[in-house]
Structure 1
Amino acid sequence: METMALFVPHLVSTPLLPLALLAVIVLSLATWAAADTTVQERQIQRHREAAGESVTLTKVHAVGFGVMASLGLLAMWMWSNVLVYASLFTFGLGSFVSIQQSLPEILSRMGLGQGHHNLNTAFSGLFVLAWFWQRNESNAWIFQDILGGFTIALMLKVLKAPSMSAPTLLLLTAFVYDVFFVFVTPYLTKSGESIMEAAATGAALTVKETIPMLFRIPSRSGEAMLGFGDVVLPGILVTFLKEADARLEEYSGGCHEILELGEIRTQKSWWSRRWGYHLTAILGYALGLEVTFMAMMWSNKGQPALLYLVPCTVIPVMLLASKRHELSLLWNGWGDVDQAEGEEEEEDEGYEEQDKESEYDGDKGRSKRLLEKSSRMAGRVSLVASETISL
Structure 2
Amino acid sequence: MVTSQYGNDTDFLVTFLNLVHLACNIAVEQVIAGGSREEDDKEILNITTKSAFVFVITASTFLLLLYFFMSSWFVWLLIILFSIGGVEGMHSCIVSLVSSSKCKGCGRKKLNLPLLGESSILSLVVLILCVAFAISWVATRKASYSWIGQDILGICLMITVLQLAQLPNIKVATVLLCCAFLYDIFWVFLSPAIFHDSVMIAVARGDKAGGESIPMLLRIPRVSDPYGGYDMIGFGDILFPGLLVCFAFRFDKARKKNVLNGYYIWMVVGYGIGLLFTYLGMYLMNGHGQPALLYLVPCTLGMTVWQPLKPKVLTAVPRSFLQVAAKEEEAAPPLRVVQIEGLVILKIIKHCKEFSPALVTGQLLGLDVGSVLEVTNCFPFPVREEDEEIEAEGANYQLEMMRCLREVNVDNNTVGWYQSTLFGSFQTVELIETFMNYQENIKRCVCIIYDPSRSNQGVLALKALKLSDSFMELYRSNNFTGEKLREKNLSWVDIFEEIPFKVSNSALISAFMTELEPDTPVTQCDYERLQLSTNPYLERNVEFLIECMDDLSMEQQKFQFYYRNLSRQQAQQQAWLQKRRADNMARKASGEEPLPEEDPSNPAFKPIPEPSRLDSFLITNQIANYCNQINGVAGQSFSRLYLMKALQEN
With normalisation by structure 1, the TM-score equals 0.72
Distance 2:132 2:338 in 1: 44
1:15 aligns with 2:21: no
* Helix, strand or coil at the partner of 2:306: helix
Closer/same/farther in 2, CA of residues 349 and 214 from structure 1, 3 Å limit? farther
Change (3 A) 1:210 1:327: closer
- Return the letter of the residue paired with 1:199: V
**Deviations 1:156-201, CA, capped at 9 Å, x for gaps:** 0010111111122111101101111111111212xx3210100111
Report if the CA contact (8 A) 2:338-2:373 is conserved: no
Question: 2: distance between equivalents of 1:332 and 1:62?
Answer: 23
Higher relative CO (CA 8 A, sep ≥ 6), structure 1 or 2?
1
Rounded to whole Å, the distance in 1 between the matches of 2:341 and 2:369 is 10
Deviations 1:51-106 (A, max 9, x none): x6221011111111111111111111111114322211111110111111111222
Aligned partners of 1:239 and 1:21: how far apart in 2?
19
Task: Mark the CA change 1:148 to 1:37 in structure 2 (over 3 Å): closer, same or farther.
Answer: closer
The answer (yes or no) to whether the contact 2:177–2:297 under 8 Å persists in 1 is yes
Q: 2:170 corresponds to which residue?
A: 164
- Partner SS state of residue 16, structure 1: coil
Q: Which amino acid aligns with 1:226?
A: I
Partner of 1:283: 269
1:73 corresponds to which of 63, 79, 83: 63
Alignment CA distance shift 1:290-1:103 (3 Å) = same
Q: Which runs of no fewer than 5 residues in structure 2 stay unpaired? A: 1-8, 108-121, 309-316, 351-364, 375-650
**Aligned with 2:212: secondary structure?**
coil
Match of 2:208 among 181, 194, 204: 204
Contact 1:30-1:152 at 8 Å conserved across structures = yes
Partner of 1:248: 255
Q: Structure 2: how far apart are the matches of 1:237 and 1:148?
A: 19
The C-alpha deviation readout for 1:230-270, integer Å capped at 9, x for no partner, is: 001111111000011112227xxxxxxxxxxxxxxxxxxx6
Change (3 A) 1:103 1:243: same
8 A contact 1:23–1:231 mirrored in 2: no
* Counterparts of 1:349 and 1:296, CA distance in 2: 64
Cα offset, 1:310, TM superposition = 0.5
TM score, norm. by length of structure 2: 0.44
- 1:360 corresponding residue in structure 2: none
> Relative to structure 1, is the Cα distance of residues 37 and 149 closer, same or farther in structure 2, using a 3 angstrom cutoff?
closer
Residue by residue over 1:133-159, the C-alpha shift from the partner in whole angstroms, topping out at 9 and shown as x without a partner, is: 111211110000111110110000010
Larger radius of gyration: 2
* Alignment partners' CA distance in 1, 2:367 and 2:76: 54
Q: Find out whether 1:327 has 2:322 as its counterpart.
A: yes
Determine the C-alpha separation between the residues in 1 that align with 2:97 and 2:371. Answer: 33
Q: For residues 125 and 326 of structure 1, do their structure 2 counterparts lie closer, same or farther at Cα, with a shift above 3 Å needed?
A: closer
Query: Separation in 1 of the partners of 2:66 and 2:342?
Result: 50
What's 2:112 paired with? none
Q: Distance in 1 between matches of 2:80 and 2:62?
A: 16
Distance 1:299 1:235, change over 3 A: same
Q: Please say if 1:130 is aligned against 2:123.
A: no
Q: Work out whether residues 304 and 321 of structure 2, in 8 Å CA contact, stay in contact via their aligned partners in 1.
A: no
Measured in 1, the distance between the counterparts of 2:237 and 2:54 equals: 18
Preserved contact between residue 96 and residue 124 of structure 1 (Cα < 8 Å): yes
For 1:97 and 1:293, the matched residues in 2 are separated by 32
Change in 2 beyond 3 A, CA 1:148/1:36: closer
- Deviation track 1:198-243 (CA, whole Å, cap 9, x = no partner) reads 011111213x632000010112241110001100111111100001
**1:197 partner amino acid:** I
Whole-Å Cα distance in 1 between the matches of residues 198 and 276 of structure 2? 22
Match of 2:527 in 1: none
Deviates further, 58-67 or 326-335: 326-335
SS at match of 1:217: strand
Whether the aligned pair in 1 keeps the contact of 2:10 and 2:231 (CA below 8 Å) is no
1:373 shift after superposition: 5.1
Whether the 8 Å contact between 1:87 and 1:212 is mirrored in structure 2 is yes
Distance 2:99 2:213 in 1: 35
Partner Cα separation in structure 1 for residue 89 and residue 330 of structure 2: 29
Q: 301-310 vs 110-119, which deviates more?
A: 110-119
Extract unaligned runs of 5+ from structure 1.
1-12, 251-269, 358-368, 379-391
**Hey, what does 1:6 align to over in structure 2?**
none
Q: Which is richer in strand?
A: 2
Cα offsets for 1:101-137 (capped at 9, x unmatched): 1112222455344551211111111111111111121
Whole-Å Cα distance in 2 between the matches of residues 309 and 157 of structure 1?
A: 21
Q: Contact 1:344 / 1:373 at 8 angstroms: preserved in 2?
A: no
Do structure 1's residue 27 and structure 2's residue 31 form an aligned pair?
no
- In structure 1, distance between residues paired with 2:127 and 2:133: 10
Partner of 1:144: 150
- What is the rounded CA distance, in whole Å, between the counterparts of 1:373 and 1:185 in structure 2? 50
* 1:326 CA drift (Å): 5.6
Which residue number in structure 2 is paired with residue 306 of structure 1?
A: 293
Letter in 1 for 2:231: A
After superposition, the CA RMSD in angstroms is 3.7
* 1:228 equivalent in structure 2: 235
Structure 2 counterpart SS, 1:193: coil
| Cα separation, partners in 2 of 1:53 and 1:373, compared to 1, 3 Å | closer
